[in-house]
Amino acid sequence: MAEESMIKREIKNDDQPAGKKEMMNRGAWTAEEDRKLAEVIEIHGPKRWKKIAAKAGLDRCGKSCRLRWMNYLRPNIKRGNITDQEEDLILRLHKLLGNRWSLIAGRLPGRTDNEIKNYWNSHLSKKINQVEKQSEGSRREGSRSTKRRRVVEKKGEDMGEVEDSKSNGCEDSKYEFDHDDFFDFSNESPLTLEWVSKFLEVDNKLCELS
């Protein structure tokens, strides 16, 4: 935002030991700061953010530098204009994974977790509320759905209709993606893998019960 809004004030800074908080720059980054940060990262690589902040001569904490790099300065970052296909994928992944923005972002090349989180909060959550209100209305209208139908709906809620997509080749989806790749969590941390497998386990049990 406006660079005039840049202010210096005492901030709570995780990078500083207690009792030795310094005046840190905060607020919007300037082009000059971006340039300095990018220069230092090019030399030292994107790690040891505290040192990077110091070497770049920025009155910024390491965390702030990391965030700036991850969200804006990193190569191959896409900015704005989330396509319908991407939106569709975000919706599906969110149904599958919940608010695991970094996981979702990991499956949208060039997109950051922060961007997806913001997009969700400002656009998609509202959309979903609208759709839910509409579907509530239509449910009251006629409750003729069969047990099977309800089960499919439940699956859709939890799995983002991924199962449907797998079986019918994404007929209702505008986004074409490689299912093997989509379900490949092999690069995720053990915790994530555990979480995903638990999710699938519960989902399988629900299927069996139905």
CB of 158 to DNA, least distance (A): 17
**Rounded Cα gap, residues 13 and 81, in angstroms:** 34
Residue 87 found at the interface with DNA (CB under 7 A) = no
**Rounded Cα gap, residues 94 and 32, in angstroms:** 37
**Rounded Cα gap, residues 87 and 116, in angstroms:** 9
Q: Which stretch binds DNA (CB under 7 A): 8-16, 87-95, 134-142, 161-169?
A: 8-16
Burial of 89 (0-12, 13-18, 19+ CB in 10 A): buried
Q: Which amino acid is at 74?
A: R
Residue 174 found at the interface with DNA (CB under 7 A) = no
Q: Which is nearer to DNA, 49 or 173 (CB)?
A: 49
Place of tokens 């209100």: 133
Which run of H or of E encompasses 10? strand 7-10
Q: Which is nearer to DNA, 97 or 170 (CB)?
A: 97
Q: Which of 26, 74, 78, 95 touches DNA (CB under 7 A)? A: 26
Nearest alpha carbon to residue 210 among 147, 134, 137: 147
Q: Which amino acid is at 9?
A: R
x-marked contacts with DNA along 94-133 as a string, rule CB under 7 A: -----xxxxx---------xxx-xxx-xxx----------
Q: Which residues bind DNA (CB under 7 A)?
A: 1-2, 4-5, 11-15, 17, 25-29, 47-51, 60, 62-64, 66-68, 71-72, 79-80, 99-103, 113-115, 117-119, 121-123, 189-191
